Amino acid sequence: MKIGIIGAGKVGTTLGQYLKLKGMEISGIYSKTLEHAVDSAEFIGTTYYEKLEEIVALSDTLFITTPDKEIAGVWDCITAFNLKGKIICHFSGSLSSDVFLGTEETGASVCSIHPIYAFSNKYSAYQQFHKVRFTMEGDALAVEKMKSYWEELGHKVRIIRKEDKAKYHAGMSMASNHVLALLECSVQLLRDCGFEDKEAYQSLETLVCENAANGMKHGVTEALTGPIERNDISTVEKHLSVLPKEEDSIYRNLGKKLVEISKRKNPDRDYKTMEKLLED
């Protein structure tokens, strides 16, 4: 399989470097910004192309790793070339394979692939990529080949329905990005108490990491602790009495979800007063 990468950002560079180190054949990389393609190609140890037509012609599989808003445009461009028998994949978490319009006329087989991973650094993200799980959906042929390809490299692959793509990505985003927003709320409250940022993060590290690890290992119901789970009305009242408006809203909304989990954990405990407090 000769893989050509279109897009020289974090995702494309990470995939290229990882696959090259695994001994896979990379036909090269292309970017509309030539200096980005040159930089990534030098890092990966592959060829860069100045013309889109060249990488299409020399690849039997194309990975489109551009930002989501550019994927449809890239597809429109490459359909001008011979795609018969080629596998075309994009790596968007939110877009489905429906973005590839008119595939029947091209003779290509298409799919969407999403690595469940935060690509934080273009030059180092490949180092932990062996741990990544994937989700896929699309044409049967493309999915079959790509699933086999990544599984042979040791990755777990889950096939999802294209109509579930947006809901799936929302779940992933909440667990990744929204958690950071919640962490920022906590750090801001500690700043208000006189903590410097470094001290605030250090103070939260064990609490956050151990709690997340327990949730992943045992499930959130088993891992849940704290005043809402204990049905500690007076403590929650104190929290609500000192929170700024925005944090108060976040606390109440997430608190309602915590009550749902608490009911599963403690089915004999009456949380009606807690529910009313959080609603008010």
The mean pLDDT of the chain is 96
Domain CATH code at residue 103: 3.40.50.720
Calpha distance 18→16 (Å, rounded)? 6
Which segments in the chain show pLDDT lower than 70?
none
Burial class (CB in 10 A: 0-12, 13-18, 19+), 250: middle
Q: Give the dihedral sign, CA 274/276/279/280.
A: negative
Phi and psi for 67 in degrees, rounded to 5? -55, 155
Checking DSSP bridges between strand 87-90 and strand 157-159, what pairing results, if any?
Answer: unpaired
Q: Specify whether 84 is located in the same domain as 195.
A: no
Q: Domain count for the chain, please give it.
A: 2
Q: Is the residue at 210 inside a domain?
A: yes
pLDDT tens digit string along 256-280? 999 999 999 999 999 999 999 999 7
Q: Is the residue at 167 inside a domain?
A: no
Q: Is the residue at 77 inside a domain?
A: yes
DSSP 2-64: -EEEE--SHHHHHHHHHHHHTT--EEEEE-SSHHHHHHHHHHHTS-EESSHHHHHHT-SEEEE
How crowded is residue 32: how many other Cβ atoms within 10 Å of its Cβ?
A: 15
Q: Specify whether 131 is located in the same domain as 200.
A: no
Confidence (pLDDT) at 280 = 79
Q: Is the residue at 173 inside a domain?
A: no
| Domain boundaries, position 81 | 3-160
Q: Specify whether 206 is located in the same domain as 82.
A: no
Q: Is the residue at 17 inside a domain?
A: yes
Q: Specify whether 7 is located in the same domain as 145.
A: yes
Strand ranges inside the chain, DSSP E: 3-6, 26-30, 48-49, 61-64, 87-90, 109-115, 134-138, 157-159
Confidence (pLDDT) at 120 = 87
Task: Note whether 132 and 116 are within 8 A (CB).
Answer: yes
